[in-house]
């Protein structure tokens, strides 16, 4: 086993003493949702092709689960001058910032929907916050603790004073829930589809050992306060209703409706306004099914938009579906 130091701990290369072939690269890697993960690159077998040995089957495992697999078939020889450099890179001295732009907690911009409803947007994600009396309802907590802290600061400026906070988790994609630990650490109630409970509990229970976050520091007192729903659910004395979308592509997903503003929070399920999509149709059908009458909508990747635009997209989809060639 060959060992070298890295910013996030040791990197260990396991080598077969008989052949000299690498068997596994083993390391610990930071992660925006899980804190850290045990990552293994396994070289399951080696094969000879054209006089050289290559790893025939390779796998990347994270916490014991296979994420990537690769099998090499044909191998083509190329001239030495055209080959990439094979020199060993220097040992890393700091953790590289590899987070793509959509995960970076850039300061959110605040946009007013009404006196009590606002959108918080940065290049990666939009979220929404609504004040009802002494309660705050936050629709989704994306990107991680850094974003959640900035959201909290912006919310305090919009709605000063003490509030009870409810976080509505509308979708379980990892980047969409990466801020949940911060809000659990601050005592927020979490509302989501009932089927989401086990996964969200696992996120909250995960121990962050490499770089402890706020929840880890408050581990003794912080608990997941969970409300699960499976059908239309009214909260804030009926001012806000939550609705499972229940389409083919939207299982375990929720949308939220603020009645006074006629505002629909469409979660991640209106992603583009350029063309009709299955997601848009499923949101539109859920609106009709539950008798809602939105005037405005917004989603994690869509700004404040008149609902009439969604109606237009649905009409376009209906025309395409009814054409003779379909």
Q: State yes or no: pLDDT of 240 exceeds 90.
A: yes
pLDDT at 123: 95
Phi-psi region of 236 (alpha: psi -120 to 50; beta: other; left: phi over 0): left
Q: Cβ(268)–Cβ(278) under 8 Å?
A: no
Q: How far apart are CA 91 and CA 41, in angstroms?
A: 18
Confidence of residue 94 (pLDDT cuts 50, 70, 90): low
Task: Label the pairing between strands 189-193 and 225-229.
Answer: parallel
Kindly indicate the confidence band of residue 326, based on its pLDDT and cuts at 50, 70 and 90: low
Q: Comparing 65 with 318, which gets the higher pLDDT?
A: 65
In the prediction, which pLDDT does 21 show? Answer: 94
Per-residue pLDDT band for 316 (boundaries 50, 70, 90) equals confident
Instruction: State which CATH number among 3.30.70.1140, 3.60.15.10, 3.30.70.260, 3.50.50.60 fits the domain covering 101-322.
Output: 3.60.15.10
Cβ neighbour number for residue 220 with a 10 Å cutoff: 6
Q: Please name the residues in contact with 265: beta carbons below 8 A apart, sequence gap of 6 or more.
A: 128, 139, 168, 170, 255, 256, 257, 258, 297, 298, 299
Mean pLDDT value across residues 119-137: 97
| Residue 59: predicted pLDDT | 98
Give, as one character, the DSSP assignment of residue 260.
T
Tell me the pLDDT band of 91, cut-offs 50, 70 and 90. low
**pLDDT of the residue at 222:** 95
The ranges assigned to domains in the chain are 2-75, 101-322
Higher pLDDT, 78 or 152: 152
Question: How far is it, in rounded angstroms, from Cα 223 to Cα 186?
Answer: 10
Question: Which ranges of the chain would DSSP assign to H, the alpha helix?
Answer: 145-158, 180-185, 197-205, 214-217, 278-289, 307-322
> Please, what is the end-to-end C-alpha distance for the chain in angstroms?
60
Looking at residue 159, the DSSP 8-state letter turns out to be S
pLDDT of residue 48: 86
Q: Are 107 and 86 in contact (CB under 8 A)?
A: no
Using alpha carbons only, what angle is made at residue 238 by residues 237 and 241, rounded to the nearest 5 degrees? 130
Write out the two tokens for 1.
């086993």
- Determine which of 71-75, 129-133, 154-158, 218-222 has the lowest per-residue pLDDT on average: 71-75
**Rounded CA separation 145/162 (Å):** 21
Please check the confidence at residue 57 and state whether its pLDDT lies above 90. Answer: yes
Identify the pLDDT of residue 22: 95
Rounded mean pLDDT, 236-251? 95
Location of structure tokens 């090499």: 72
Q: Are 254 and 243 in contact (CB under 8 A)?
A: yes
Question: How many other C-beta atoms can be found within 10 angstroms of the C-beta atom of residue 200?
Answer: 21
Asked if 297 contacts 310 with a C-beta cutoff of 8 angstroms, the reply is yes
Average pLDDT rounded to a whole number, residues 160-173: 97
Mean pLDDT on 84-107: 76
The pair phi, psi for residue 152, each rounded to 5°, is: -60, -40
The pLDDT score that the predictor gives to residue 7 is 75
> How far apart, in whole angstroms, are the C-alpha atoms of residue 140 and residue 222?
19
pTM beyond 0.85: yes
Q: What percent of the chain has pLDDT over 70?
A: 95
Write out pLDDT tens, residues 179-196.
Answer: 999 999 999 999 999 999
DSSP-assigned letter for residue 174: G
The helix/strand/coil state of 12 is: strand
Give the pLDDT confidence of 273-292 residue by residue, as tens digits: 999 899 999 999 999 999 99
Sorting pLDDT into bands at 50, 70 and 90, what band is 116? Answer: very high
Contacts of 238 (CB under 8 A, 6+ apart): 259
């Amino acid at each position: 086993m060959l060992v070298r130091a890295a910013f996030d701990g040791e990197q260990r290369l396991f080598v077969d003493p008989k052949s000299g072939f690498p068997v596994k690269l083993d390391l610990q890697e930071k992660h925006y949702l899980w804190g850290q993960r045990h990552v293994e690159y396994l070289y399951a077998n080696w094969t000879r092709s054209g006089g050289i040995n290559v790893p025939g089957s390779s796998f990347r495992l994270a916490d014991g689960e296979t994420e990537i697999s690769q099998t090499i078939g044909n191998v083509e020889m190329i001239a030495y001058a055209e080959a990439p450099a094979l020199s060993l890179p220097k040992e890393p001295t700091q953790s590289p910032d590899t987070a793509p732009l959509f995960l970076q907690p850039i300061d959110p911009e605040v946009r007013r929907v009404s006196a009590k409803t606002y959108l918080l947007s940065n290049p990666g994600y939009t979220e929404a916050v609504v004040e009802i009396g002494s309660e705050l309802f936050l629709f989704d907590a994306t990107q991680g603790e850094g974003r959640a802290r900035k959201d909290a600061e912006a919310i305090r400026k919009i709605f000063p004073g003490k509030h009870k906070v409810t976080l509505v988790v509308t979708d379980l994609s990892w980047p969409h829930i990466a801020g949940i630990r911060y809000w659990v650490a601050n005592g927020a109630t979490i509302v989501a589809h009932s089927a989401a409970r086990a996964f969200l509990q696992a996120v909250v229970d995960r121990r962050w050992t490499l770089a402890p976050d706020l929840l880890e520091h408050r581990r003794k007192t912080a608990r997941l306060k969970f409300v699960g729903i499976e059908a239309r659910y009214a909260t804030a004395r009926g001012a806000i209703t939550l609705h499972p979308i229940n389409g083919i592509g939207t299982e375990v997903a929720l949308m939220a409706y603020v009645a006074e503003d006629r505002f629909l929070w469409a979660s991640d399920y209106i992603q583009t306004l350029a063309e009709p999509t299955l997601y848009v149709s499923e949101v539109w059908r859920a609106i009709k099914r539950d008798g809602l009458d939105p005037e405005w909508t917004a989603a994690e990747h869509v700004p404040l938009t008149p609902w009439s635009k969604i109606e237009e997209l649905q009409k376009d989809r209906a025309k395409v579906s009814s054409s003779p060639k379909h």
